[in-house]
Amino acid sequence: MKKDTILFMLIAMLLAACSPAAAVDGESTNVPTVINLPTDTVEPTVVPTSDYPVEGIGPSEYPENVNPLTGLEVEDPQTLNERVAAVKVENLPREHRPQYGLNAADLVYEYYTEFGSTRFIALFHGQAPEQVGPVRSARFFDIQVVQSYKATFLFGGAYSAVYSRMWNSDISPRLVVEGNSSYPALYRQSVDGDNLLFANLTKLPEALTKLGIDNQAQDISGMFFSKTLDVNGYPATEVTVHFSNAVYNRWVYDSTSGKYQRYVDQNNAATVADENYDLLVDKTTDEAISADNVVTLFVPYSFYVKNATEEVVDVNMVGSGDALIARDGQIFPVYWKRETSSSTLTLVDGDGNAFPFKPGNTWFEVVGSSSQKVQQDNTWRITFAIP
């Protein structure tokens, strides 16, 4: 993809977002509205390395010991002979942070749930940590992720309509809920007086055998990885995603590690000036939550139920749409693509060619298709909105 193609894509995306973003629950959308495009793109900072194929890896074939979700070799190839494990992880209340095991995930999707809140669905294929969580209840969006990666799904309950859709879908044979057969893959632990649910993925194969769930590896090809880039991006040392007054996060590029580190909300904030961030760590290791790729997906959200006491959203992630991928201190406007419910989500350029993820882990920020995109110098801000 040429430089002028990227510029065209970026202008098109920004024009599409020029209408005011809808407020979430009546909250302020007090963010800058002037978009200053950089006059010059930065040169790629990644150079070819002898330990990674110059042509990249994927999107259809991968070496036997390479994880198709990270493009990296795994320590234990046996994990690649098993299904991907998807675990539902909570984000609120703040008192339950930091979460356990998120840095061991290959992919994490964060998305809006209800009344300003978000949750995560974390995908594990290359590692099997002993503690992931706290585990919480499912939402409609989880179904699409589980279908996409043909995963087993560990969760803690669901809204009745969500349960009905799950049990009547192709993922129904792979649902793992709390019970005698799933213990100790799903277990309870008291944390600061709260009785919380956690997943132990080292025990999952045994539980799947008891539950009669097929744990054979599936075709999850689709992601393309390359350490080198032959296109220029736009400077992006900070990417802020504002879901609501209660949930907002900032990804800050650390040039030493080559990763983006996650900073999260410390208080409810009615305005930008009120926002307060702190570095999020993985409770298991006390290391900063970080990502080699931070991808913002602009997808259609809709209200399944919305009234004074209940809010349920649905998300359609089949087809294609706008996306931004931040890697190596740069951001690139691309498109997400998922042709069918069983297709692995991939990124493509304006010509339809697979766009390279940096080898490593990826966080996806799933926002509404009408969400506002603002760029000022090397900082970017995404403000969530539902059409």
Residue 162 is part of a domain; what is its CATH number? 3.50.90.10
Strands 362-368 and 372-376: unpaired
pTM, to two decimals: 0.88
Predicted local distance difference test score (pLDDT) of residue 78: 87
Q: Point out which residues pair with 166 in neighbouring strands.
A: none
Return the ∠ at Cα 154 (arms to 279 and 356), rounded to 5°. Answer: 60
Predicted local distance difference test score (pLDDT) of residue 68: 98
What distances in angstroms separate CA 170 from CA 66, 143, 148, 258, 319, one per listed residue? 27, 9, 11, 39, 19
Residues 6+ apart with CB under 8 A from 359: 52, 57, 70, 71, 72, 225, 226, 227, 292
Predicted local distance difference test score (pLDDT) of residue 387: 80
DSSP-assigned states of every residue in 342-383: TSPPEEE-TTSPBPPBPSS-EEEEEEETT-EEEEETTEEEEE
Predicted local distance difference test score (pLDDT) of residue 36: 36
Residue that is written with structure tokens 């909300």 in the block: 265
Strands 372-376 and 379-383: antiparallel
Predicted local distance difference test score (pLDDT) of residue 252: 98
CA 271 to CA 383: how far, in whole Å? Answer: 12
Q: How many domains does the chain have?
A: 1
What residue numbers bound the domain in which 76 lies? 1-387
Scanning 53-192, the segments in alpha helix (DSSP H) are 140-148, 160-167
CA 230 to CA 239: how far, in whole Å? Answer: 23
pLDDT along the chain (387 residues), means of 10: 40 36 33 34 41 94 96 92 98 97 98 97 96 98 98 96 96 97 97 96 97 97 95 96 98 97 98 98 98 98 95 96 98 97 96 97 98 96 94
Predicted local distance difference test score (pLDDT) of residue 49: 44
CA 370 to CA 327: how far, in whole Å? Answer: 23
